[in-house]
Amino acid sequence: MIRLLHKAIIGTIRRLPLRAACFVFRGYNKALRLLGPEHVATTFFGAKLHCSTEDLIQRMILHFGVWEPDVSRVIEQNLKSGDVFVDIGANIGYDTLLASARVGRAGQVVAIEASPRTFALLQKNLALNPASINVRAINAAVSDKPGTLELYEISSANIGAATTLASRGGTLIASVEARPLDQILTADEIQRLRLIKMDVEGAEPPILRYILGQLHLYPQTMDIVVEASPQDDLAAWRNVFDGLRTAGFSAWVIDNSYELEWYLRWRHPTAPRRIETMPPHQQDLLFTRR
């Protein structure tokens, strides 16, 4: 009953003029916060997640049942029963659970999250969803070499923004184990790997360069979805972009925005658009050899 009421309230808010919708939405979110800092959200694909009204990503999942809807659509379209999905930067488990539902019992999801605190939330959400038995969760950072990396918190209002880049000016929160992807995955997981989704807040270029050097290990049909942040190092991103293109990957932009206005007005996915050069600003990109 509460879930239906919540859905009806959000539906009403979305029908308001945009300025009014933003105002009422923020008021409703504050009201929920008074009832408690955490609520159980239900996603559009039926998974349940513990979500805080104070965290950007969790707030959107709680109210709209989706996070990065166009990225979600790409994940759905690229996975089938029996596939392997790797979620690098799994956060609280939204994409992990979406992929878990898609690949089924015959498939496998490897959820990799560096932050010990966020990893605890990931495990909590996996335990809330019995269907997640096909998920292997790992508390580590993916890197281009074994070792230890420092992890920094950028904002307490978005735990997903934690990064290993000291240049982003965050607060040191942990030292975490780091390993290359092929040293985290099993041989069977590598052989059946269909899709990598990577969002590690600016640390992607060295990981992608390493994967490029080990590309012979992975299936020809493996795709990569990555949040690209060229504002951190445009030259490094151009190098990775050109390297993937040389290896036979085409590049596609996936529409995405983190603004409340976008979520209030979003209605259906937009098809990815092919690009030939690295964008100079943050974009979600799909790389595929299909």
CATH number at residue 243: 3.40.50.150
Contact of 55 with 41, CB cutoff 8 Å: no
Structure confidence at residue 131 (pLDDT): 81
Structure tokens at 186: 């099993």
Q: Do the domain assignments include residue 148?
A: yes
Q: Which domain holds residue 114?
A: 68-257+267-288
Q: Do the domain assignments include residue 201?
A: yes
45-100 pLDDT, tens digit each: 999 999 999 999 999 999 999 999 999 999 999 999 999 999 999 999 999 999 99
Q: Do the domain assignments include residue 250?
A: yes
Contact of 194 with 86, CB cutoff 8 Å: no
Residue 251 DSSP SS3? strand
Structure tokens at 13: 């808010």
| pLDDT tier at 223, thresholds 50, 70, 90 | very high
Q: Do the domain assignments include residue 163?
A: yes
Q: Do the domain assignments include residue 60?
A: no
Examine the pLDDT at 1 and tell me if it is beyond 80: no
Query: What is this structure's pTM?
Result: 0.95
Q: Do the domain assignments include residue 284?
A: yes
Q: How far is CA 6 from CA 9, 32, 67, 97, 264, in A?
A: 5, 10, 17, 22, 15
Q: How many domains does the chain have?
A: 1
96-138 pLDDT, tens digit each: 999 999 999 999 999 999 999 999 999 999 999 988 899 999 9
Q: Do the domain assignments include residue 44?
A: no
H-state helical runs in the chain = 2-15, 18-35, 56-64, 69-78, 94-103, 116-127, 187-191, 204-213, 234-246, 260-265
Q: Do the domain assignments include residue 190?
A: yes
